Amino acid sequence: MRRPSSNLKTSRHVYLQLRKMMGSNNKKRAKEII
């Protein structure tokens, strides 16, 4: 699996979006994604 530096930015964006959508309810799962 390749991990380009741009992937980190995307991961961060996805994480922020997930946190916004799910809220603190999905905090544990969001941590796993990171």
pLDDT tens-digit profile of 4-27?
Answer: 677 778 888 888 887 787 666 656
CA 30 vs CA 10, 14: distances in Å: 14, 10
Per-position DSSP letters for 1-34, written without gaps between them: ----HHHHHHHHHHHHHHHHHHGGGGHHHHHHH-
Query: CB within 8 A of 34, min separation 6: which ones?
Result: 11, 15
Determine the pLDDT at residue 34. Answer: 55
Taking the model in full, what pTM does it have? 0.38
Using pLDDT thresholds of 50, 70 and 90, give the confidence band for residue 30: low
